[in-house]
Amino acid sequence: MLFKRQYVPAVISGVMLIGGLAMSFSGAGFFTGIIPLYWYAFAYMLVGGPVLLRAGRELARLDFANEFFLMSVATLGAFIIGEYAEAVAVMLFYEVGELFQENAVSRARGNIKALLDVRPAQATVRRENQWIVVKPEEVLPGESLLIKQGEKIPLDGELNSDRAILNTSAITGESKPTSVYRGEKVLAGSINLEGVVEAEVTATFSNSSLSRILDMVEKANQRKAPTERFMRRFARYYTPGVMAMALMVTFLPWIFVEVYQFEEWVYRAFVFLVIACPCALYISIPLGYFGGIGAASKNGILFKGADYLDRLRNLHSILIDKTGTLTRGTFSVRKFKPVEFDREELLKLVAALESHSNHPVARAIVDYTGINSGDARTGEVREHSAMGITGTVNGHKLLAGNNKLMDKNKVRVLPETGSIPFTCIHVAVDNRYAGYFVLADEIKEDSRQAIEKLRRLGVKDISILSGDKDTITLAIASELSIDHAHGDLLPEEKAGIVKEYVSRNEGVVAFAGDGVNDAPSIAEADVGIAMGAMGSDLAIETADVVIQTDQPSRIATAVQVSRETSRIVWQNIWLVFVIKALFLGLGAMGIAGMWEAVFADMGVALAAIFNAIRIQRKKFN
């Protein structure tokens, strides 16, 4: 039914226009006198009625500086001078342009619709020691969910099962299945790919990540880009100016031409008005930005408004948080060096000792060894806060920890470890130094690619801001070939550096981060970017752009989308102005008639629309 309501009036009007022209050219005897007027008037009202009503409402508010008033004057004038078919054609082509625009917008909303489609309809929750099915809106934080294979996770939560394999593509845009382990976050809208898992709800349905994403997308197009706002202001002067020029086309020739025919010059004035109608701009510019927002969301990037989409194209400097943005925020062993001990034997001893600890460093070392130490004999295991762990393994006294633990037990460490910028865990066996592990925050897979892409895009300054140790921050920056790095920063110090960059007025400054402590810096930047999939709620709420995939390379993709959108918008602006300027001159000289005016107006509008929707098909690398 929606299809019929949208298209039937245009189809009927088009058939009547073609039929009327055919009867006129064939010289049908009955199609004379007042009949053509009624015939074309009916065809005109089918497509022009809504435009006339809109023009009337705007006029009642004393606003005649709009395209509806301009089109109404031009087409009603065409009726007055007997050019019925041309008047219908103007409104029909305008309606066709509107329908093309709606189709293009629908295509841009395709990815958004996919988000809507992943909203789960039900949730299986444990109540009174049994599983019952309820609406997701009725589930409260703290309750347990059961998610079967192939089902969507209805709310955000933490995994209670040992492991789950999830398809998070609808939320993050990442097509690769994601493994999640006990205690880790699971997001509403993700699909469970394997087995039956349980999760504990951490947020209500209205506060879930999926609901926040949908809310951001729905609000995104409400914030207009500077180009859109300029065109609205431009129309305030353009429409009165065009009306004044049309009056001059009508009456000025009376002074200069020898034989002045009022009807001829009125006709030229109406042709002039039809050509001057700015429909193409009003249609194609917002469509270009909406298409850009749609293309970005397809790539796992959410812009909270066209304003930020437009602003990011001039990115000059980007300041990036380290932990959770460029790095995973989890330890991994980068180096292991035994000293006068057999490598494999030492790894077995350390794995047995560290397996008794849940500390991230201990877990990273156990993962690195890959050894099942279940048959080892351990005893007297004790963790020492901020130092390490001690115990006996197979009759040997083991120490594993930092310099403080070694100093306490009077074990000398290798001098070379003093220059290592990362976390160094020393090992001693029976109070004799046995070797060390070097651990560091793991760099994300595409962080290097992200920096390279940003450089290729001409970003002048790339810097890391981190609360981590300055030596570690500098080392990560060196590995990624980043210009500057600042460590040991408090949240307010981070924000101060961002503010200082903005005050230089060298170009747009962006900040990308994921934590609560990044929110002040995100707010200070010209464009604040949050790593959304695992980022804090505060960072996501504060940001102007949300990267759903947690991939830093998508920041560069966002810049690419921004620049491509701007390029297409300005292509359309120049296309419209050049063609209209040409035909305005031809119309005023009487070379272009009403039919040429129709095609000059709506032809260029359709061309601009087709150009605008190209961005939705473009692939960004």
Q: So where are the chain's domains?
A: 2-109+221-290+564-617, 140-203, 306-326+444-543, 330-443
| 533 pLDDT higher than 90 | no
Query: For the segment 429-474, what is each residue's pLDDT rounded down to a tens digit?
Result: 999 999 999 988 788 888 999 999 999 999 999 999 987 778 888 8
Identity (one letter) of the amino acid at 246? A
Cα 43 from Cα 208, distance rounded (Å): 50
Query: For the segment 487-531, what is each residue's pLDDT rounded down to a tens digit?
Result: 888 778 888 899 999 999 888 999 998 766 677 888 888 998 988
Which segment of 412-426, 577-591, 597-611 scores lowest on mean pLDDT? Answer: 597-611
For 232, the 3-state DSSP assignment is helix
Per-residue model confidence (pLDDT) at position 470:
84
Tell me the β-bridge partners of 167: 191
Per-residue model confidence (pLDDT) at position 110:
53
Strands across the sheet containing 388-393: 327-338, 432-443, 423-429, 396-401, 388-393, 378-384
Per-residue model confidence (pLDDT) at position 175:
46
| Residue keyed to tokens 């209205």 | 206
Cα 77 from Cα 83, distance rounded (Å): 9
Tell me the β-bridge partners of 526: none
| 556 pLDDT higher than 90 | yes
Query: For the segment 141-158, what is each residue's pLDDT rounded down to a tens digit?
Result: 999 999 998 888 888 899
Higher pLDDT, 460 or 110: 460
Higher pLDDT, 383 or 592: 383
Cα 540 from Cα 530, distance rounded (Å): 5
Closest CA to 513 of 540, 548, 549, 486: 540
* Dihedral Cα 93, 94, 100, 102, nearest 10 deg: -150
Cα 106 from Cα 157, distance rounded (Å): 32
- Indicate the fold that domain 330-443 takes in CATH: Calcium-transporting ATPase, cytoplasmic domain N (3.40.1110)
3-state helix, strand, coil in the chain (%, to 5): 55, 20, 25
Cα 354 from Cα 370, distance rounded (Å): 12
Strand residues in 11-134 grouped as ranges (E): 123-127, 130-134
Per-residue model confidence (pLDDT) at position 315:
93
Cα 456 from Cα 620, distance rounded (Å): 14
Query: For the segment 178-223, what is each residue's pLDDT rounded down to a tens digit?
Result: 778 888 888 887 888 888 999 999 988 877 766 665 565 555 444 4
For 519, the 3-state DSSP assignment is helix
Identity (one letter) of the amino acid at 30? F
562 contacts: CB under 8 Å, gap ≥ 6: 292, 309, 310, 311, 312, 313, 315
Which segment of 62-66, 136-140, 545-549, 569-573 scores lowest on mean pLDDT? Answer: 62-66
Per-residue model confidence (pLDDT) at position 235:
63
Per-residue model confidence (pLDDT) at position 124:
92
Q: 140-203 has which CATH code?
A: 2.70.150.10
Per-residue model confidence (pLDDT) at position 451:
93
Query: Which whole number is the average pLDDT over 470-484?
Result: 87
Query: For the segment 268-326, what is each residue's pLDDT rounded down to a tens digit?
Result: 887 777 777 766 666 667 777 877 887 887 788 888 877 888 889 999 999 998 877 88
Structure token pair of residue 150: 């192939």
Tell me the β-bridge partners of 178: 166
Query: Which whole number is the average pLDDT over 386-391?
Result: 87
| 116 pLDDT higher than 50 | no
- Domain 306-326+444-543 sits in which CATH superfamily? HAD superfamily/HAD-like (3.40.50.1000)
Which segment of 168-182, 285-299, 470-484, 596-610 scores lowest on mean pLDDT? Answer: 168-182
Query: For the segment 563-592, what is each residue's pLDDT rounded down to a tens digit?
Result: 998 898 888 888 878 887 787 778 777 777
- Among residues 307, 321, 441, 550, the one annotated as catalytic is 321
Is 321 designated active site? yes
Burial of 375 (0-12, 13-18, 19+ CB in 10 A): exposed
pTM: 0.65
